[in-house]
Chain A
Amino acid sequence: AQRVTQPEKLLSVFKGAPVELKCNYSYSGSPELFWYVQYSRQRLQLLLRHISRESIKGFTADLNKGETSFHLKKPFAQEEDSAMYYCALSRKGGNKLVFGAGTILRVKS
């Protein structure tokens, strides 16, 4: 069965501190992993996908197949990073997304 686990409902950090949002997944085949972000009063939007290996707004995420993890990291948090973050997976080349429960990131000044 496909499952995405985000163990933290809320992560609160100070501005300038490192951030790591945890995501673990369960999938029998070859998955594609994503991070989506929802800022206050905005719609859900794609932040990054593992296949593109890019850094968006200072965030990176590495797929660790051994640990079945796709943690989202940023070395120095900014207040504007405060949002709800969802980890999601799909079958490689597939349509359907399976979402985790989401983690609220609060960056305090």
Chain B
Amino acid sequence: GAVVSQHPSRVICKSGTSVKIECRSLDFQATTMFWYRQFPKQSLMLMATSNEGSKATYEQGVEKDKFLINHASLTLSTLTVTSAHPEDSSFYICSARESGQGYQPQHFGDGTRLSIL
């Protein structure tokens, strides 16, 4: 089955640090990848849609300069949290949709728990 690998699974770092999270589709090509954020006991909130070779589309209220997304290949998208602060601490999850005709489900990564001290 389609597997999405997300790395790292956990990050703890100091305030002001920039953190990069990788999302890879291991056995399929993904034209579109998605980045979600999940606060404790709350639902997944879509942050942005990442399209290979073009700029990401950000949801309302998400700072594009804060959350930099790069989707340089059909198997890799990265999310960089720039100058992270404690309020950025959260669980970040990526998903990837396989390229192709017809309906293609989103396949999810395991998520990255980001803790900013």
Contacts and interface: CB of A to CB of B under 8 A. Distances in A.
Check if A and B associate. yes
Interface of A: 4, 9, 43-46, 49, 51, 86, 95-102
Contact of B49 (A43, A46, A86, A96): A96
A104 B49 CA distance: 28
A43 to B, nearest CB: 5
B112 to A, nearest CB: 12
Contacts of A43: 4, 108-111
Contact of A99 (B41, B44, B97): B44
Interface of B: 4, 32, 34, 41-46, 49, 93, 95, 97, 103, 105-111
Nearest to B42: A101
A45 B108 contact: yes
A46 B43 contact: no
Given A96-B49, A99-B43, A100-B43, A46 B93 contact: no
A44 B41 CA distance: 15
Contacts, number: 40
A44 B108 contact: yes
Nearest to A46: B105
Contacts of B110: 43
A9 B43 CA distance: 11
B40 to A, nearest CB: 12
Contacts of B34: 95-97
B46 A96 contact: yes
A97 B46 contact: yes
Interface centre among B45, B106, B109 (most CB of A within 10 A): B106
B108 to A, nearest CB: 4
Contacts of A49: 103, 105
Contacts of A86: 43-44
A46 B95 CA distance: 12
Closest 6 CB pairs of A and B: A44-B108, A99-B43, A101-B43, A99-B44, A46-B105, A43-B108
Given A44-B93, A95-B97, A102 B108 contact: no
